[in-house]
Structure 1
Amino acid sequence: MTGLDRLLALVPPPASPVGADADWSRTERQLGLALPTDFTRTVRRYGDGVFCDDLYMYSPHHMAEINLGLLAGWSDMREQWPEEVPYPLHPEPGGLVVWGGDSAGGALCWITEGEPDDWETVHWQQRDGEFTPAGCGAPELLARLLERRVAEAAENCEEFDGPWFTPLRERVHVCLRLTEGPLPYAERLRLLRERLAPVQLRGGWANPDGARQDHFAATPSLWEITYETAYGHQIRITYPPAEEERVRTELLAAVGAMGCSVESGLSLDRATEWPEFAGGGSGTGTAAKG
């Protein structure tokens, strides 16, 4: 099984990948390198987007620019602390080229020794400043990192239905602040998921003091939801703009079923209130106002 086969088995690609038909020839000319076939095939299957809100591959529109900036920074770091950068940097022979990254500011790189299809990958983790060689190609490294995420979820007893990929599309981000309501958190969460089903569970966490945060997606609507008490009692949701009317109707009905009311509904992108709650008014969750 190839690295790409392994990745496809873990995470089904989107039916209509965003930017999948992009031309890599300009990027290859800018870098002065041909790119590995397994990488360009992977990008064509998934397009622009992110795995598990954490791992991503650069598109041809950004790869050359990202390499110019990041490699320059590593070059400066190597001059001061040579031991911190144990690899040559492109365009040095065999030098590192960046092809992706993670949500913690890390970078996924190739060691450009030999033929492109033989290049091995390195994961630079910003938090500890270490370069960790993976000994495999790009899709294989993605698969390994995602399998680690699945294993961590199982170890931590998270409610987790497996890894996912979110295509890069325009989305609206909204936060609803809620009253507490009479039901315990677990029952409110169950009712919320039930009203927005079918859902994919995407993990969460709980503090010793009982504060919680739970993530899930309403599929196939492409709504991504976080329900929590960790930073106030609230629902955070992202969705395609065309879904706004349906989101309001279904989400407010779900809040009503949970026995709660909405204190405010803020569109984070626009820094404006949902019309139902403009001016600081409250809503019942069972129906939208006005």
Structure 2
Amino acid sequence: MGLDRLIRLVPPPATPVDAGSDWQAVTRRLGVRLPGDYRGLVEQYGWGEFCDLLRLWTPFGTNRFNGIDWQTAPAPPVSARDRERYPYPLHPAPGGLLVWGGTIDADRLCWLTGGEPQDWPVVVWSEDGRYETFAPGAAEFIEGWIGGRITSRVLAEMEPELAPWFTAARPRVHRCLHLTEGALPHAERLRVLRAALAPTADRGSWRSESGDDGQDHFATADTDWLLTYDLARPHQIRIAYPAEHSAPAWQRLHEAVELMGCRIVRVTAGNGLPVPTWDPEPGEALP
């Protein structure tokens, strides 16, 4: 089964977010029974992202960014021109699209409902109105994309040298440390930073054609901190960490920066605005 292969390929989180359990209530609310492999996906992984691209949504979310998209009223009449661009109706219209996930590029991952739920094809609905149809099974689709068996004209490909991962959606504090340059070259500073926060796992990187700009992404394996180290000058470390980790995150990063031969010039929030303290402020939004 696709879900079994996916679990072997990508370990689920210890505590899935918005995994829920009352599937009968979901069936009553949506008016359809959802596929069994999707129920397994939700129970194993919950709300979150595969490889920073594919987003799995659940029907148990209380956050406005999580939930199954569905229509509560019949869709309005569609013109012939629009029918060419939007060939499928939306649920709850018979055979309509029901969205179960998305991507960081605002594409939608859907089922084409109709017939038995286990037979619903997966449809990738791109942000610019393109469609691709794949064999049934949300878990099969995700596992196939991660494993390279499924190719798409819409979706980006996994970086082949990266081990796949799943990031559970949870509130995180976003901070950015702006640093002095220091004497060590960038590659050595990055090595020192990752060694100080070890164990870590790669999350990809990029470089400009000139090599003067770029980013290195990684995550801590034991604390679930997400980090980006910017090559741009002046360089900076960006981190997203659970609020309860505020004190150890500051301590370990401060020690790492000293080992890198740099100094912290200032600290800002993820949006670049100054913050009076490293700790999250009361009422601060934690995306």
Answering whether residue 28 of structure 2 is matched by residue 26 of structure 1, we say no
SS in 2 for 1:203: strand
CA distance in 1, matches of 2:246, 2:254: 12
Instruction: Provide closer, same or farther for how the CA distance between residues 65 and 275 of structure 1 changes in structure 2, counting only shifts above 3 A.
Output: closer
The Cα shift of 1:60 comes to 1.3
Q: CA deviation at 1:68?
A: 2.3
Report the residue type matching 2:238 in the other structure: R
Equivalent residue number for residue 239 of structure 1:
241
Q: Return closer, same or farther for 1:78/1:58 CA change in 2, 3 Å cut-off.
A: farther
More helix by share: 1
Aligned match of 2:71: 68
Q: What is the letter of the counterpart of residue 140 of structure 1?
A: E
Distance of aligned partners of 1:52 and 1:64 in 2 relative to their CA distance in 1, 3 Å threshold: closer
Which amino acid is 1:82 matched to? R
2 CA distance for matches of 1:78 and 1:257?
64
- Letter matched to residue 87 of structure 1: Y
Q: Partner residue of 1:153?
A: 159
Q: Deviations over 1:159-180 (max 9, x none)?
A: x541111112221110011111
Q: Distance in 1 between matches of 2:126 and 2:48?
A: 20
Q: Determine the C-alpha separation between the residues in 2 that align with 1:125 and 1:77.
A: 19
Helix, strand or coil for the counterpart of 1:255? helix
CA distance in 1, matches of 2:145, 2:49: 13
Secondary structure (helix, strand or coil) at the match of 2:88 reads coil
1:13 match: secondary structure:
coil
* Aligned-partner residue type, residue 153 of structure 1: E
Residue identity matched to 2:255: A
Gaps of 5+ in 1: 155-159, 277-290
Structure 2, unmatched stretches of 5+, are 149-154, 279-287
Q: How does 1:79-94 map to 2 (within 5 A)?
A: 80-94=81-95
Aligned mate of 1:267, from 266, 269, 274: 269
Specify the alignment match of 1:139 in structure 2. 139
Match for 2:136: what amino acid? C
Q: Does 1:189 align with 2:190?
A: yes
What is the SS of the residue equivalent to 2:69? helix
Q: Deviations over 1:170-208 (max 9, x none)?
A: 211100111111111111111111111000011110001
Shift of 1:124: 0.8
Which residue does 1:212 correspond to in 2? 214
In structure 2, distance between residues paired with 1:185 and 1:77: 55
The CA distance in 2 between the partners of 1:184 and 1:77, in whole Å, is 59
Change (3 A) 1:232 1:117: farther
Q: Using a 3 Å threshold, how does the CA distance of structure 1 residues 50 and 78 change in structure 2: closer, same or farther?
A: farther
Q: Percent identity?
A: 43
**Alpha-carbon spacing, 1:232–1:3, altered in 2? closer, same or farther (3 Å):** farther
Aligned-residue CA RMSD (Å): 2.7
- Provide the residue aligned with 2:285 in structure 1: none
Aligned AA for 1:261? R
Q: What amino acid sits opposite 1:181 in the alignment?
A: G
Provide the C-alpha distance between the structure 2 equivalents of 1:244 and 1:217, rounded to a whole number of angstroms.
16
Given the two structures, how large is their TM-score scaled by the length of structure 1? 0.83
Q: After TM superposition, give the deviation of residue 81 of structure 1 in Å.
A: 1.9
What code does the residue aligned with 1:108 have? Answer: L
The amino acid of 2:240's aligned partner reads: T
Change (3 A) 1:232 1:122: farther
Report the counterpart of residue 286 of structure 1 in structure 2.
none
**Shift in Å, 1:64:** 6.9
Change (3 A) 1:19 1:130: same
Task: Return closer, same or farther for 1:238/1:64 CA change in 2, 3 Å cut-off.
Answer: closer
Secondary structure at the aligned position of 2:39 is classed as helix
5 Å matches for 1:33-72? 33-61=32-60, 66-68=69-71
Give the whole-Å Cα distance in 2 for the aligned partners of 1:64 and 1:259: 45
Look up the equivalent residue of 1:218 and give its one-letter code: T
User: Which amino acid letter does the alignment assign opposite residue 199 of structure 1?
Assistant: T
| 8 Å CA contact 1:98, 1:107 repeated in 2 | yes
Q: 1:151 to 1:98 in 2, by over 3 A?
A: closer
| Count, aligned residues | 267
Is contact 2:71-2:92 (8 Å) kept?
A: no
Compared CA separation, residues 200 and 65, structure 1 to 2 (3 A):
closer
Q: Which residue of 2 is the match for residue 223 of structure 1?
A: 225
What SS does the corresponding residue of 1:153 show, helix, strand or coil? coil
- Residues 121 and 135 of structure 1 are in contact (CA less than 8 Å); yes or no, is this contact kept in structure 2? yes
